[in-house]
């Protein structure tokens, strides 16, 4: 057992306490799979990641992402936060302002903008596809949304690194006040092999274009304070459905306020519909971890 650098972060926020927590272990190449999972369970943070040497010269680093119960292929806020630590710790350096993250979802570019406390990182979201649009009248999703006035876009089932059901609300106030049936969302998630339901509304509130709430009940989370992956899929759906619309090249997002957070995310959409999701990360704890590297 030896010491490794360990960071605890708050991702997608300009101030500590406003975003989504993350734990990151640096240079964990000597850790076994079981040790990583056991440590992620011990931290009990929504996700804990492990920075490793890349297996290809094309990558800046390799990343493994664990919830307290299992390993996952990709998630947005762990990718952004881990890239922040990779730079902060000197684990790697950007090439022409870009890091390349190697993970189970493939090689994903991360754009680096600014320096120090003003640095913002943007990850290229995995390519997304709309699997289904519309809502079946007798489905559990229809029942879950039966009292909701829906927005311009029909509900959709979208895949890109993760699977989510998406639904647009017509009114921001109704979105912020919504009290969903979490048991129903969990059943929807398990039946469709998805994370759950992500809902959003176009906003006239100052400072953001969209308000978003994500309920990843499929992995046991009631509500996510800041979800890069979910935001990436919403952006891909908007770009697909409204290629000439006012949000087609990007927008700002408010998430998490309903559960005591105040995350801020920025979405950029390239002309070819490539989606980038980013924001700032705050370092809250910097220290060392001692943990047995094998069971």
User: What is the Cα–Cα distance from 233 to 192, expressed in whole angstroms?
Assistant: 16
Ramachandran area for residue 250 (φ above 0: left; ψ -120 to 50: alpha; else beta) = left
Question: How many angstroms separate the Cα of 136 from the Cα of each of 106, 115, 142, 175, 181?
Answer: 34, 48, 7, 21, 18
User: What is the Cα–Cα distance from 235 to 291, expressed in whole angstroms?
Assistant: 39
Question: How many angstroms separate the Cα of 98 from the Cα of each of 59, 121, 124, 265?
Answer: 10, 9, 11, 19
Angle in degrees, 0-180, between the axes of helices 228-241 and 76-88, rounded to the nearest 10? 120
Question: How many angstroms separate the Cα of 295 from the Cα of each of 27, 32, 288?
Answer: 18, 8, 20
CB distance 119 to 88 below 8 Å: no
- How many C-beta atoms lie closer than 10 Å to residue 249's C-beta? 13
Catalytic residue, chosen from 47, 159, 223, 264, is: 47
**10, containing H or E segment:** strand 3-11
Whether 288 is catalytic? no
CB distance 61 to 107 below 8 Å: no
- Look at residue 84 and give its three-state secondary structure: helix
Question: How many angstroms separate the Cα of 278 from the Cα of each of 48, 120, 227?
Answer: 19, 7, 10
- The dihedral through the CA atoms of 243, 247, 252, 254 has a sign that is negative
Query: Which tokens go with 165?
Result: 């059901």
Q: Which residues are designated catalytic?
A: 47
């Amino acid at each position: 057992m030896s010491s490794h650098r360990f960071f605890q972060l708050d991702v997608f926020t300009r101030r500590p306490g406003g975003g989504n927590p993350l734990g990151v272990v640096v240079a964990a190449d000597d850790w076994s799979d079981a040790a990583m999972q056991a440590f992620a369970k011990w931290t009990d943070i929504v996700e804990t990641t492990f920075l490793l040497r890349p297996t290809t010269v094309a990558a800046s680093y390799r990343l493994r992402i664990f919830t307290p119960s299992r390993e996952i292929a990709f998630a947005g806020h762990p990718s952004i936060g881990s890239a922040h630590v990779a730079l902060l710790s000197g684990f790697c350096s950007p090439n022409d302002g870009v890091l390349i993250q190697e993970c189970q979802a493939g090689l994903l570019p991360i754009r680096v903008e600014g320096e120090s406390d003003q640095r913002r990182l943007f990850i290229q979201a995995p390519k997304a596809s709309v699997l289904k649009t519309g809502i079946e009248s007798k489905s559990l999703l229809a029942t879950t949304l039966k009292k909701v006035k829906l927005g311009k876009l029909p509900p959709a089932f979208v895949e890109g690194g993760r699977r989510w059901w998406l639904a647009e609300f017509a009114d921001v106030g109704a979105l912020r006040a919504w009290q969903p049936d979490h048991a129903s969302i969990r059943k929807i998630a398990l039946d469709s092999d998805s994370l759950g339901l992500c809902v959003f509304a176009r906003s006239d509130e100052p400072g953001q274009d969209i308000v978003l709430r994500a309920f990843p009940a499929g992995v046991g989370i009631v509500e996510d304070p800041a979800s890069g992956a979910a935001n990436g899929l919403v952006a891909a759906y908007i770009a697909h459905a409204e290629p000439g619309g006012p949000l087609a090249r990007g927008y700002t997002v408010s998430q998490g306020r309903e559960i005591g957070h105040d995350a801020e995310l920025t979405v950029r959409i390239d002309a070819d519909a490539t989606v980038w999701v980013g924001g700032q990360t705050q370092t809250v704890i910097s220290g060392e971890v001692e943990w047995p590297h094998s069971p």
